């Protein structure tokens, strides 16, 4: 690749994963405020990039095979099938070049938070082999309360779903998503970092420092303070009185 293209491909890719209403948006805002990081929302690369790219690449490779079977070697040499590395590069280029607002040269880390990321960790790792994953977990009871505030029973598709049945459905999904992510982590320990939403809210500077080190950034305390102030995490809920 030309030097400019190599610079694009050299960016560290990461994905924020987590169950819905678990603080992924807060972490995304914090990281996006860092000058060396661009972290967007709703990239949905499996559906928006990988699958359409696959629909283009697979027929192309198939046509090259057919051409090889019916042409002489000189004709075939002009057409080379796209291997796995080329496919990854094409998908990565498409992902990075489609970022809203583009990427400045000082951005060396690119991340995405999409609600569906946690369901596609294996696929994302296959598409982006160097990618890192930040898994944010929130207490399941608070996830339920937040979900009920956003989607009260009786609205839209929850019209026939009581709060009790919704709690059961969400609890099962919450357990399943976390278990699958932690199973993924066993095979990718160096590329997986886990944090609690409650810790991010209570100790944002400390947790953000840990995340930056995980990504490979040398932290700057002023930059960390800036990221926290821009994201403006909500004060923790204190109960007991």
Q: Tens digit of pLDDT for each residue in 90-141?
A: 555 555 555 656 566 688 898 889 888 998 898 888 878 889 999 999 998 8
Query: Which residues are registered as beta bridge partners of 132?
Result: 14
pLDDT for the residue 103: 61
What three-state secondary structure class fits 122?
A: helix
The predicted-structure confidence for 10-63, as pLDDT tens digits, reads as follows: 788 899 999 988 999 999 999 999 999 989 887 766 666 655 555 545 554 565
Q: Write down the mean pLDDT value for the chain.
A: 77
- The closest of 232, 225, 216 to 37, measured between CA atoms, is 216
* pLDDT bracket for residue 198 (50, 70, 90): very high
pLDDT at position 182: 94
CA distance 168 to 175: 11
pLDDT digits (tens, 9 = 90+) for 184-195: 999 999 999 999
Question: How is residue 68 written in tokens?
Answer: 């090889």
Instruction: Report the predicted TM-score, pTM, of the whole model to 2 decimal places.
Output: 0.74
Q: Which residues touch 81 (CB under 8 Å, ≥6 apart)?
A: 60, 61, 64, 65
Q: What does the pLDDT average to over 157-178?
A: 78
Whole-number pLDDT of residue 11: 80
Where does the pLDDT of residue 164 fall: very low under 50, low under 70, confident under 90, or very high at 90 and above?
confident
């Amino acid at each position: 690749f030309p030097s400019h293209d190599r610079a694009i491909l050299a960016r560290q890719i990461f994905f924020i994963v987590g169950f819905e209403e678990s603080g992924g948006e807060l972490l995304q805002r914090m990281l996006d405020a860092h000058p060396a990081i661009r972290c967007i929302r709703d990239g949905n690369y499996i559906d928006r990039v990988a699958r359409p790219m696959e629909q283009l690449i697979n027929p192309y490779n198939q046509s090259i095979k057919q051409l090889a079977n019916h042409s002489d070697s000189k004709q075939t040499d002009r057409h080379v099938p796209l291997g796995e590395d080329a496919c990854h590069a094409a998908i990565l280029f498409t992902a990075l070049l489609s970022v809203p607002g583009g990427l400045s040269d000082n951005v060396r880390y690119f991340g995405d938070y999409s609600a569906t990321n946690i369901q596609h960790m294996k696929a994302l790792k296959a598409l982006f082999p160097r990618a890192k994953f930040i898994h944010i977990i929130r207490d399941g009871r608070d996830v339920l309360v937040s979900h009920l505030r956003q989607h009260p029973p009786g609205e839209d598709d929850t019209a026939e779903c009581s709060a009790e049945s919704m709690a059961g459905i969400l609890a099962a999904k919450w357990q399943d998503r976390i278990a699958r992510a932690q199973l993924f982590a066993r095979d990718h320990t160096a590329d997986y970092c886990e944090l609690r939403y409650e810790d991010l809210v209570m100790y944002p500077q400390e947790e953000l420092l840990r995340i930056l080190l995980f990504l490979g950034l040398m932290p700057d305390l002023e930059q960390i303070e800036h990221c926290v102030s821009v994201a403006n995490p909500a004060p923790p809920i204190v109960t007991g009185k």
